Amino acid sequence: MFIRLSGTNHILGHRLRVKNFPKPTRQIHIPYLIIGGGISGLSAARQFRKRGISDFLVLELENHLGGNSSNGENQYSKFPLGAHYLPLPNFHDKTLLKFLEEEKIILGYNAKGFPEFDEAQLTFTPQERLFYKNEWQEGLVPKYGNSNADENEFQVFFAKMDYFRETKGADGNYLFDIPLMNSSKDAQTLKLDNITMKQWLDENQLTSKSLIAYVDYCCRDDFGLGIDFVSAWAGIHYFAGRKHNVTSDRKENVLTWPEGNARLAMHLKKYSEGKTLKNHLAYEVKTAGNKTVVHAFDDRKKESVEIIADKVILATPQFVNQYLLENRMQIGREFQYAPWLLATLTVSDLTDNYSYPLSWDNVIHGSKGLGYIYDQHQSVQQVQPKKVITYYYSFSSSDIRKSRRTLYRQKKDYWKQMVFDDLKKAHPDIEEKTEEISIHLLGHGMISPVPGFLFGVAKKEAAKNIENKIFFAHSDLAGISIFEEAFHQGINVVNAILDGTTLDS
């Protein structure tokens, strides 16, 4: 079996701590510089173009754009190296609907005014299955095998989530919305950010093991941290932020592609074509007079470059910004990121007990990982010579830093075995059937909204521009790591620069 190990360029990134870079030998002058080519940076580039501005550059440390929305590819399929789907957006998010329309993901609008999504980009059925009590069943919420008490608790839980989804605060905003900054500032609801999701479940006498395992899975899936560590406001937002109101039948569905959200990154990339410096690590950002001076290391030529810009957008996470800017360590420390591990397996066959067929998303109830995506699911080719699946694992613990050290210390054989041991619960012969495994490590995968963070001081401070010259846009400033947040961060920051408006995180 062939094992491959990859990850974000943490070796180059870690040089930010020692900053042993050569002195700059060249200069570039540019009005606008975007540092970071993830979704937020690419969205900012798109917004510049939409506003008629093309004299900008995008600086990216990796040899490709996309950040957490990047992908890999083998001879059988493309596969995600991070984000893999976009749930159907809220109907009132017209900016996102417009983007989806431009990219022919929305093909038009029906007589009732609802968008018509391209069927080929919506998950094909069967969409989700759950391995629960030794059987696969449809959906991720267990329908069979629960006691009556479990059933009751699921009903109570979902009724509460419906309330949170539909209700608006006195300020007229939904209690929970996307982007998060549009949510109501209702004081009672904000208090939910002070407790963990587990505490909220306890307070509401929700103790069913089956329900707890399900909610824990959802939190680990969206935030990298489980119910014991994640804020209740964030946990509820997972269920209540999406209104399921963009189609007339209010069906929950997602948009997905074999390469995951790298498809969306690809659509955004065209706006910065010919304006990108890849393999460039920004290592210092300072204001000087009426300009901003950025020092970056060109990892290909092994030389440094000085970029002088009028305005700089840091579309980089705060754990990076703390090394680029002076006096940012305190703020940086408040941002916690859950490490992630992805493993893409090429298997000759995926034997299971076929109680429910292989689906796009396949989750094993109560397992350590988050299950796997069948990467070829959206292919119209029914019979595949080999199957390609991507397994997801987030390191949910009270000591994220320790998890990160473990992530990088352990060898690839260790991770391979962990993946197999987890998948064996549903696929006992997975190890013999696997021909190739690519393990992808993300040390700072995802911002984790621990209690007190979402509406705390650090997040607000981190979003404030510096002397009207250095601006910020990254999904971690929202506190929730999803495409929509990064997309809107990029748009809002450009509007703030060009219109002089202030940003609210």
Asked if 336 is part of the footprint of ligand FAD (rule: CB under 6 A), the reply reads no
Preceding amide of 179 cis, omega within 30:
yes
Q: Which helix (H) or strand (E) holds 4?
A: strand 2-7
Compute the distance between CA of residue 484 and CA of residue 261 in angstroms, rounded to an integer: 11
* Contacting residue, 45, 60, 154, 198, with ligand FAD by CB under 6 A: 60
**Is 38 among the residues that bind ligand FAD (CB under 6 A)?**
yes
460 to 499, contacts with ligand FAD by CB under 6 A?
A: 474-475, 481-483, 486
Binding of ligand FAD by 39 (CB under 6 A): yes
Backbone dihedral angles phi then psi of residue 367, each to the nearest 5 degrees? -85, 170
Residue whose token pair is 């929700």: 206
- Pairing mode, strands 85-87 and 106-109: unpaired
Determine the interface stretch with ligand FAD among 55-63, 96-104, 169-177, 207-215 (rule: CB under 6 A): 55-63
Q: What is the nearest approach in angstroms of ligand FAD to the Cβ of residue 113?
A: 25
Q: Residue 402 burial by CB count (10 A; 0-12/13-18/19+): exposed, middle or buried?
A: exposed
Q: Which two tokens stand for residue 435?
A: 């021909």
Question: Which of 200, 340, 372, 374: binder of ligand FAD (CB under 6 A)?
Answer: 340
In the complex, minimum distance from the CB of residue 62 to ligand FAD, in angstroms, rounded to a whole number: 5
The H helix count followed by the E strand count for the chain is: 16, 21
Compute the distance between CA of residue 16 and CA of residue 70 in angstroms, rounded to an integer: 23
Residue 384 CB, nearest distance to ligand FAD (Å)?
A: 22
Instruction: Tell me the β-bridge partners of 309.
Output: 30, 292
Note the Cα 327 to chain centre separation in Å: 27
320 binds ligand FAD (CB under 6 A): yes
CB nearer ligand FAD, residue 192 or residue 324: 324
Contact window for ligand FAD (CB under 6 A) among 91-99, 104-112, 182-190, 310-318:
310-318
Residue nearest ligand FAD, Cβ-based: 38
**Part in contact with ligand FAD (CB under 6 A); list of ranges 29-37, 212-220, 366-374, 455-463:** 29-37
Q: How many residues bind ligand FAD (CB under 6 A)?
A: 36
In the complex with ligand FAD, the residue whose CB is nearer, 36 or 235, is 36
What's the min distance (Å) between Cβ of 349 and ligand FAD? 26
Among 44, 47, 48, 69, binds ligand FAD (CB under 6 A): 69
Among 33, 34, 44, 61, the residue binding ligand FAD under the rule CB under 6 A is: 61
CB 449 within 8 A of CB 334: no
Decide if residue 86 touches ligand FAD (CB under 6 A).
yes
Which residues share a beta bridge with 57?
33
Cα 281–Cα 283–Cα 289 angle in degrees, nearest 5 = 125
For the record, the structure tokens of 285 come out as 């950002």
DSSP letter at 231 equals: B
35 interacts with ligand FAD by CB under 6 A: yes
- The Cα–Cα gap between 10 and 35 comes to 17
Least distance in angstroms from the C-beta of 172 to ligand FAD: 27
Interaction between residue 420 and ligand FAD (CB under 6 A): no
Residue 193 or 476 having the CB closest to ligand FAD: 476
Rounded least distance, CB 10 to ligand FAD, Å? 10
Q: Which amino acid is at 213?
A: A
Of these, 24, 36, 369, 449, which contacts ligand FAD (CB under 6 A)? 36
Question: Is residue 294 at the binding interface for ligand FAD, with CB under 6 A as the rule?
Answer: no
Cβ-based neighbours of 228, under 8 Å, separated by 6 or more:
196, 198, 396, 398
Binding characters for ligand FAD, 425-464, by CB under 6 A (x = yes): -----------------x--xx------------------
The span of 31-39, 137-145, 167-175, 192-200 binding ligand FAD (CB under 6 A) equals: 31-39
Write the DSSP string, 134-197. Answer: TEEEESSS--SS--HHHHHHHHHHHHHHHHHHH-B-TTSSBSS-SSGGGS---HHHHGGGGSBH
Helices (H), 7-141: 10-18, 39-50, 94-102
**End-to-end distance of the chain based on CA atoms, in angstroms?**
47
Tokens of 488: 């809107």
Q: In the complex with ligand FAD, which residue's Cβ is closer, 84 or 387?
A: 84
Does the protein bind ligand FAD through residue 41 (CB under 6 A)? yes
- Is residue 89 at the binding interface for ligand FAD, with CB under 6 A as the rule? no
**Should residue 48 be labelled a site residue for ligand FAD when binding is judged by CB under 6 A?**
no
Question: Which residues in this chain contact ligand FAD in the complex, by CB under 6 A?
Answer: 35-41, 59-62, 67-69, 82-86, 261, 281-282, 315-317, 320, 340, 442, 445-446, 474-475, 481-483, 486
